[in-house]
Amino acid sequence: MPKHGATLGLRLAPRRVTLLLVLVGIFALFTLLFTLPNAIPTGPSLSKSIADHKFSIPKYKDKFSSSILNPFRPASHKPPEQKNSTYGGSSWYSNWNWRSPFSSSITLDENRALLPPLKDRAPIYCYYDTTLQREEATKEAESALLLTWRRAWWAQGFKPIILSAAEAMNNPLYDELQRLDVEPGFKKEMMRWLAWENMGGGLLAHHLLFPMASHEVPLLSFLRRGEYPGLTRWEGFDNALFAGPKIQIADAIVQALRNPKNKAVKDFISAVTSDTFLVDPSHDSLAFYDAKTVEKNYQKVAEETAANREKGIKSLNLLINSHLHNTWQDIFSNGIAVLKPMPAHTTRMIEPALELATLLATCSESPVPSSCPPNLPKCSPCVASHPMKISTPARYRNTTSLYTIGIVPHPYTLRTLDASRDTLDIAYIRREIKKRDEWLYLIFQELLGTGISGSVRVVKFKDAVAGEYATSHSLWLTAEKESVPHDLDWWFGFELPSNTTDDGKSETPVPGPERRPKPQHDPADGPVPTLDDLAQEPRLLERAREVAKSKVEEDVRIRSAIEAWNLADTEAWRFARAFLARARVERLKWEEEESRYAGGMGSDADSIPGSSWLRWGDDKETHD
């Protein structure tokens, strides 16, 4: 009996050990699932942790982990769809957590990009008197000049609005003004102020005042904030720019209207006391093209205006546009970089970006070539024989004086070009793609090194696209578009030079094809493509574009597989695509709204009601 009992005990022990090991394993698994995902930082905090070589110690927080990696996490509804959040096959969700590496962790939707909230644009108003009778040709010339004004301020982050007598008539003090016997010039000034006060204050500018400086200069940054503590004017600018809150504007209007001596005054400033305004002496970032300035600095334009008002306005418009373009060129003294990772196989892919860079590097037409803006008399005038430098680096460089244009490919497009294959399959994706998220890896290799994960790289990419001043220093397009958007004038703030290569003609100062700047390729950036590679690229690129919008089951399966294999590259592609689409929706909605006021003056002919919103070709794209 004793022997039998001992034998039974020995037989039972291994089972108990096995059960113990199973329990320990389950405990360890649940510990990892419920605590570790919460302890790993993401987004900017992950970058900081890597930089500091420190990681948080896992801590038990609550019964259920909030990590999306937790299979036991309770199901939750997707965030509600926001207004105007889809366009051309792209959809987005604006949220303060936009720096999360992967949008789906917030949107719970693989095809919905997470974007930063739209910044509030400070309104800036100008007044246009619609009651005056004008010839149709003159009216069209003035409308084009107002469009230049609106485009320049929009690109600087403002909301430019044209006011008319309709806004002034809504002001309760309008009737009091009509009963006064005052100078016509003073009455026109009062109409401006009544219209401005009716809109609630903010900024009131002359339509000949333009922002002529980089996006981040202190004055423009201050004006963009939209917070003006007191009624302010700028020294030497006369009536060019005012800023202030509604209450102080109303007090100043009452003071001017009820000034016993207002019958003799000719402008608003003379009708109020000297302590009404704070006077700011600094306005180096603004250019005012009033009659005195034009006559002093641009005599040819002044003479044309005196001889024929319509031609003079057109000439002035060309002059201002050329100065806006030249100022932009001076800001980016190191030139334009068109990113070209995998240089042996992406020449055709970046061609639209190179065409855009060429237009940006050439000189705009001007009635006074080699002239400078009135606020920048020592500028470096654009000279056709010495255009801006255009380079095609393989790496992104965060340099203030270098403008970057990036073409972001879908992973399928990139792999089709790199492998020179018409079709891809699952076997190729699993066995032949040695490095995941290679596009992000290559463009940030110089900036981040080689030991950083794709999630950190995609956060860096989002900062490069949508950071504080990113939109004024770079433009990111997608490779699946055959051409760049046609409305980039609003992005840059000036009308781009016409592409004169279509008809073979070239008018000075825009150089012909043989004199246009050629991109400079650094041998350190990779090999030059062979003729065979160049011959194959158009066919491969077209095939990739077909797959990108295809609904064929096999194409969708392969596309989904390569997206899953390159999560960070796919996130970057969706982010860049949605960011540019949202910017266009924002402007077009505003254009549609503003075209109903001031007789439609200053409206873009391509954006007013009745014209096609989808001139970019997005209506044909269905894949998201």
Q: How confident is the model at residue 28 (pLDDT cuts 50, 70, 90)?
A: confident
Distance CA 172, CA 253 (A): 11
Range of the domain at 15: 1-70
Instruction: Judge residue 430's burial from the number of C-beta atoms within 10 Å of its C-beta, 0-12 exposed, 13-18 middle, 19 or more buried.
Output: exposed
Is 328 among the domain residues? no
- Helix 553-565 and helix 567-594, axial crossing angle in degrees, nearest 10: 110
Q: What is the mean pLDDT of the chain?
A: 84
Q: To 10 degrees, the CA torsion angle through 488, 490, 496, 500?
A: 50
564: pLDDT strictly greater than 70: yes
Is 290 in the same domain as 340? no
C-alpha angle 540/544/546, rounded to 5°?
Answer: 120
The average pLDDT across 176-182 equals 91
Cα 105 off chain centre by: 24
Q: How confident is the model at residue 598 (pLDDT cuts 50, 70, 90)?
A: confident
Is 346 in the same domain as 458? yes
The winner for highest mean pLDDT among 46-60, 103-117, 206-220, 375-389 is 206-220
- Total domain count for the chain? 3
Q: Which residues pair with 127 in a beta bridge?
A: 163
Is 468 in the same domain as 614? yes
Is 319 among the domain residues? no
Is 343 in the same domain as 232? no
Q: How confident is the model at residue 45 (pLDDT cuts 50, 70, 90)?
A: very low
Given 45, 70, 95, the domain boundary residue is 70
Per cent of the chain over pLDDT 70 is 82
Is 349 in the same domain as 430? yes
Given 29, 50, 70, the domain boundary residue is 70
Is 260 in the same domain as 352? no
pLDDT reported for residue 262? 82
Q: Which of 520, 525, 213, 528 is nearest to 388 (CA)?
A: 520
10: pLDDT strictly greater than 50: no
Is 514 in the same domain as 395? yes
Which amino acid type is present at position 34?
F
| CATH code, 144 | 3.90.550
Distance CA 398, CA 444 (A): 10
Instruction: Judge residue 58's burial from the number of C-beta atoms within 10 Å of its C-beta, 0-12 exposed, 13-18 middle, 19 or more buried.
Output: middle
pLDDT reported for residue 33? 54
The average pLDDT across 493-507 equals 61
Is 267 in the same domain as 346? no
Is 297 in the same domain as 419? no
User: Can you tell me which residue has the tokens 């937790």?
Assistant: 70
Whether the bond into 509 is cis, omega within 30 of 0: yes
In the chain, the N- to C-terminal Cα span, in Å, equals: 76
99: pLDDT strictly greater than 60: yes
pLDDT reported for residue 7? 45
Is 20 among the domain residues? yes
Is 402 among the domain residues? yes
User: Can you tell me which residue has the tokens 């970032």?
Assistant: 285
Is 314 among the domain residues? no
519: pLDDT strictly greater than 80: no
pLDDT digits (tens, 9 = 90+) for 121-171: 999 999 999 888 888 999 999 999 999 999 999 999 999 999 999 999 999
Q: Which residues pair with 122 in a beta bridge?
A: 158
Is 181 among the domain residues? yes
pLDDT digits (tens, 9 = 90+) for 347-360: 999 999 999 999 99
Is 5 in the same domain as 42? yes
Backbone φ, ψ for residue 266 (5° rounding): -115, -10
Is 522 in the same domain as 612? yes
The average pLDDT across 234-261 equals 93
Is 401 in the same domain as 523? yes
| Long-range Cβ contact pairs of 48-51 (< 8 A, separation 24 or more) | 50/452, 50/456
Tell me the whole-structure pTM to 2 decimals. 0.83
Is 146 among the domain residues? yes
Is 571 among the domain residues? yes
